[in-house]
Structure 1
Amino acid sequence: MGIDFLPDKPIYQQLIDRIMGDIIRGMLKPGEKLLSVRDYAIEAGVNANTMQRVYKELEQMEITETKRGQGSFVTEDVEKIALLRNEMREQLVTSFIQNVEALGFSKDEMVLYLQEWGEEK
């Protein structure tokens, strides 16, 4: 199994992004139990220490919580999840705009293109 990781970003960060994406998309629900560190490490094809770091970072970000003897769970704070969703959207849009501007495209050109693209889909 395993996940195909990008070479230009730390694996642990890619795993954090993946789990946060699953939470934002609703694939992982508030209060849902995460796989154990060992099971997720096997599924992802990474070292258990890497997965432990991922879970620790998610807990520090208050996206998950660990219940002693039970495992790690997605936060039940739906406002925190909504805030996370908004922050990720803002980061993506900002990065997109910076990239297209660096290539010389105007915002108006990109808005027009996105409207056309949306109509085609």
Structure 2
Amino acid sequence: FKKTSTIYGVKMMENISSQIEKQQQINNKKLEAIFFIPPLLEADSNYSALYKAYNSGYIDTLFAFNNVNNFTNLYELNRRIDSAHLNHQGAQEFTLLLASRFTEYLNNSGQKIANR
């Protein structure tokens, strides 16, 4: 099941990438999807398809916040409502982290960025 879901997920990322390319051609403007992985505590969260699509080049930009070692504050119980939701303080910290990663992305002129 996990292999099938990963393959399906990568195919979905390929489809999204294809749709973006079509829109770029139609509008003659550069478009790029930016994907992110939220800081979930749920054990059944599987982001292997996103990582595989990123590593295969279907996704250029991936902001991953699912590493408890890199984003310790977001996983502390006093920053959460439950395993899937941050409380107000956690949401503020997450918003600042997301903005920081986006700023880093803009400053690096669109180079591939993934933080794990």
Larger radius of gyration: 1
TM-score (norm 2): 0.32
Query: As a proportion of its length, which structure holds more helix?
Result: 1
Q: Which structure features the higher share of strand residues? A: 2
